[in-house]
Structure 1
Amino acid sequence: MITLDLPEKKMNDEQAIREEVVTDSKTLSPSISLEVSIPWYSDSMKVLNHPSCVDRARDKKLQFNCLKLHGVPVAADKAVLVRQYVIPVFQTDVLAMYRSKSSYVWLANRSNRSRLPFQRVNATERSKEVQRAGRLAVRALYALGLDYGVVKIGVQPGNQLVVLDVIVEPKLNREMENGFVHSIYTYGKMLSSAVKPVKEVTIGADPEFIMQSQEGELVLASKYFPRHGRVGCDAVWHGNNRSDKPLVELRPKPSTHPRTLVVRMLQGMLYAAKKVNDASIRWLAGGMPYPGYPLGGHIHFSGVWLNFKLLRALDNYLALPLMLAEDPRGVKRRPNYGFLGDFRPQFHGGFEYRTLPSWLISPTLTKGVVALAQLIAAKYPYLRHDFLREYPVQKAYYRGNKEVIRGKLTEIWADLNSLSEYDHYRSDLDGFFEWMFTGKTWDESVDFRSRWKLPPFNRKGETP
């Protein structure tokens, strides 16, 4: 497949971009290489829709296998549909949305389904179905390693959404054409400011843990903590009573200093220890230390540009190394939770990266994860590798095959160590990668308080 070269001199003019990327038959070029002269940027920053990912998406069997691996629901050959959406997407942005006009039921594999009449979904519509369809379209595009395309979504009886197709060379109406051209123009304009001084990246976190009695029973977080606050309950509930919430969540104030954020987490854990005040209760972290309750180590970012390239850097340089240390039982969390590129925009304008399990296992892991997250977010355009573009590496991640990932670790570490800013974090990052290179894994059944030297408290709040 030939990748279109977009000259740098044309990237400041939307009409010039349009003339290059939109064909005479009103289709979009499936792959674009931006000829930008920004020193030290990786090739992946300059290519939109890598050719290998385009080829995979064009093969419907490979496309569906890849989507299913990532936990993206896809339509069966004879799936019954009640509605269909056509959604043009550029990275994290839904550019428009079209919904089938007819309300009758048809089969997903009918040859004439592409000729169904569609109407534009009003931009002000915020129904749950519309929001879910938009999120699923973005997730499908990301799973295939693409940066742009048109995603077809079907709605099955019972309001179940499935992906019907991802089109890398879509036929464009005027609105789609304008949306893609403007997105390419904006991406080109943002490239020069993608790299940030590390201290301009604000990071936060809300890692979770769960509590278990000596008898192995679940201890509810809602027994000790409120819904909101610096230490509180996650929204997940246990059983039929929505007020019974099992997950404890630390919510330290964000900072531009990773060590400060870690200290605030420790302060939150000390506060929690006083509230629980029971040495017999085990505090468990990791992926899924208690059956049926996956834990997350979500990281929040502000002051950076949210795009697929950043998310892929976080997947390759943070999620992959951390996976080497996880308890093998944690693989059960994926792909329903912990899928690659999982993110959520935040009201303050930043975003939350949601792929990681709870890394509260030890101070070494916590300090390493937080420092590495800030370094990647600030300098990701310089990072060269996208191992997860390869289907076997994706499969290894989702199935917990550490040997495949371990073969990439030296290159991951060397690429990060080549950054001049690595020295700023060396004490924390060297400890983190030393753990990864040793091959040791954490044990999710062990109370993590011992590694943090958190004391059990007596009733007066004093250490015994």
Structure 2
Amino acid sequence: MGAVTLPCLSSNNKQSLKSMIVEKKRKLASTIHLENSGLVSLSDSILVLNEEEQVEKSKNPLIRNRILRMHGVPVYVNIHPLREYLVAVFQTKVLVVYRSRQFNAWLADRKRQRDSFQRISDQDKSREVRKIKNWAIRALYALGLDYGLIRMGVGSNQRYFVQQVIPGPRLNAEMEQAFIKAVQEYVNKCVESPESRWEDVVMGADPEFIMEGRTGSILIASNFFPRNGKVGCDAIWMGQNRSHKPLVELRPEPTPDPRTLAISIYKGLQYAVKKTGRVPAKWLAGALPHHAFPLGGHIHFSGIFLNFKLLRALDNYLALLLAIAEDPQGIGRRPKYGFLGDFRYQKHGGFEYRTLPSWLISPTLTKGVFVVAKLVALHYRHFKYFPLSCQQVQEAYYQGDKDLLAKWFPVLWNELKKCPHYERNRHYLDNFYKYISSGSTWNESRDIRKAWQLPPYQRKK
């Protein structure tokens, strides 16, 4: 079944919705066009699920596998899996998972037998199932799709890999109900919902930095900071001792106000200065200031509906911008870390966007990141331009081709300037614009305390 157009009013009627997106043979439409309700003027990117161009790419094994590898998604050719999974995904959520009933084995003179699959419980929290789900969502996002069925394989040594991605799969009764419900939720929460208010969207963060000693060795953050707290150490550990945690992590209180969030970051850095005393070290941030420690500047959101469209807006209007100004060595962080669309649900009901490097490089960068993130969260449904949907621009992002990325900066910034809340944050945004458009890149070997005017670089009054 190909593309279908879905009138907005049918979203509240399951039977009507089923008749439009599922054909008699229970095959799901490969593309769904949604009609605008008229309550809010939305961009085409919001109103199309599984764009036809991306669907065609996913059907071509050579193109599909090349794109997946670029995004760091494992694809192995001519490797027979020990077991397989079928994962039905709609944007950020796995709907149903099935696993092959038996281990598969092949001999050179034997043909593969047809497998049967059994339903995996939603309560199954085993490592393998969690990995399979994460890879399936990541594969779907990397291909520019919104929904589909992903066939995953598990090889020897717990190697996970994508075998097939089907944008318009045949459905059983359970998958049919799950996809219909997911489309309904998307229409109700993203297409037909009213505009979010400024105070509705709450933001937090947990940026990281490391402390490099005079000899170039990394100081152990856990020697200075507790595991938890407003300034703590990250879960990653170094060496054989799991208590030796090298990354310092700031955890400001969540707030709807980007300015308050930036002030909390500054206070957290001041607190870190007091805790470390006069220990000689450089404080380093960015993407990869040390080859063994990729750093992140995760931003937390609550009060907003998470979907692929929002993640793609954050990629295009925030991650792409930072990549223009990033230290060239930062590309070494990608695609294992810093891959497009990286997110994680949080226990508090919100989520964290994990693609960005640590923007603690400077106050200008930090303030700009917070405000742009807030504008994107509030107004992404109106954005028209998504250059990262183009494979060439994706390659530029992962390979660090700043010239190509910079060509898109004026286009993307003009979209941001149309946001109703731009003027109230003009000071932060203008400085951020100058930083990105300057053509210079940040230096990840520079002590961030100098930019933040913290001891020992604090200006004398």
Give me the TM-score of the superposition, normalised by structure 2.
0.96
Amino acid in the other structure paired with 1:123: D
2:237 equivalent to 1:208? no
Q: Secondary structure at the match of 1:81?
A: coil
* Residues 9-18 or 387-396, more deviating: 9-18
CA–CA distance in 2 between the matches of 1:237 and 1:303? 33
Structure 2 counterparts to residues 110-189 of structure 1, below 5 A = 115-189=114-188
- What's the offset of the Cα at 1:73? 0.7
- The answer to whether the 8 Å contact 1:194/1:381 transfers is no
Mapped to 2, the partners of 1:8 and 1:112 lie a distance apart of 45
Residue 189 of structure 1: how far off its partner (Å): 1.2
User: After alignment, is 56-65 or 9-18 more displaced?
Assistant: 9-18
User: Per the alignment, do residues 193 and 148 of structure 1 end up closer, same or farther by CA in structure 2, a change over 3 Å counting?
Assistant: same
Using the TM superposition, give the Cα deviation of residue 112 of structure 1 relative to its aligned residue in structure 2, in angstroms: 5.3
| Structure 1 CA distance for aligned equivalents of residues 85 and 111 of structure 2 | 17
Answer with 397-406 or 5-14: which moved more: 5-14
Q: Which residue of 2 aligns with 1:20?
A: 20
Shift of 1:158: 1.5
1:379-458 correspondence runs (5 A): 379-456=379-456
Structure 2 contact 375–419 (Cα < 8 Å) conserved: no
Q: Structure 2 CA distance, aligned partners of 1:68 and 1:370? A: 31
Contact 1:344 1:353 survives alignment (8 Å): yes
> Helix, strand or coil for the counterpart of 1:96?
strand
Secondary structure, in 3 states, of the residue corresponding to 2:297?
Answer: coil
Report % sequence identity: 47
The answer to whether 1:325 aligns with 2:287 is no
- 1:166 counterpart letter in structure 2: V
* Match runs of 1:226-265 below 5 Å: 226-265=226-265
Q: Please name the residue that 2:311 is paired with.
A: 311
Deviation at 1:126, TM superposition (A): 1.5
Instruction: Give yes or no for contact 1:195–1:381 (8 Å, CA) kept in 2.
Output: no
Q: Matches of 1:282 and 1:436 in 2, distance apart?
A: 24
Would the alpha carbon gap of residues 281 and 119 (structure 1) be closer, same or farther in structure 2, given more than 3 Å must change? same
The answer to whether the 8 Å contact 2:449/2:457 transfers is no
SS of residue in 1 equivalent to 2:30: coil
Secondary structure at the counterpart of residue 298 of structure 1:
strand
Shift of 1:80: 3.0
Amino acid at match of 1:189: N
Aligned-pair distance for 1:111? 7.8
TM-score (norm 1): 0.95
Counterparts of 1:2 and 1:169, CA distance in 2: 8
Look up the equivalent residue of 1:300 and give its one-letter code.
Answer: H
2:232 aligned counterpart, secondary structure: strand
> Take 1:196 and 1:278, find their aligned partners in 2: how far apart are those partners?
46
Instruction: Write the letter of the residue equivalent to 2:6.
Output: L
In 2: Cα distance, 1:366 partner to 1:353 partner:
15
Amino acid corresponding to residue 335 of structure 2 in structure 1: P
Unaligned runs of 5+ in 1: none
Q: Which residue of 2 aligns with 1:270?
A: 270
CA contact (8 A) 1:220 1:246 kept: yes
Per-residue Cα deviation, 1:350-398 (whole angstroms, up to 9, x for no partner) = 0000000000000000000011111111111011111111100111001
Q: Is the 8 A contact 1:317 1:412 kept in 2?
A: yes
> 1:219 matched to which residue of 2?
219
Counterparts of 2:457 and 2:65, CA distance in 1? 53
**Deviation of residue 75 (structure 1)?**
2.2
Conserved 8 A contact 1:7-1:35: yes
Match of 1:94 in 2: 94
**Distance of 1:246 and 1:178 partners within structure 2:** 47
Give the conservation status (yes or no) of the 8 Å contact 1:201–1:302: yes
2:41 is paired with a residue of what secondary structure? Answer: coil
Q: Give the partner amino acid of 2:67.
A: C
Determine the C-alpha separation between the residues in 2 that align with 1:372 and 1:70.
24
The answer on whether the counterparts of 2:37 and 2:192 sit within 8 Å (CA) in structure 1 is no
RMSD: 1.8
Q: What secondary structure sits across from 1:288 in the alignment?
A: coil
**Contact residue 4 and residue 33 of structure 1 kept, 8 A:** yes
Question: Which residue in 2 is equivalent to 1:31?
Answer: 31
Distance in 1 separating the partners of 2:84 and 2:445: 45
Q: Deviations over 1:22-45 (max 9, x none)?
A: 112221110010012333211100
What secondary structure does 1:207 align onto? strand
Q: What is the deviation of 1:3?
A: 2.7
Q: Does residue 43 of structure 2 align to residue 42 of structure 1?
A: yes
Shift, 1:105, TM fit: 2.4
Moved more, 335-344 or 271-280: 271-280
Q: 1:351 to 1:194 in 2, by over 3 A?
A: farther
> 1:104: Cα distance to partner?
3.0
Structure 1 residue aligned with 2:351: 351
SS in 2 for 1:434: helix
In the TM superposition, what is the alpha-carbon distance from 1:429 to its structure 2 partner? 1.0
**Aligned equivalent of 1:68:** 69
CA distance in 2, matches of 1:363, 1:104: 55
Question: Secondary structure, in 3 states, of the residue corresponding to 2:12?
Answer: coil
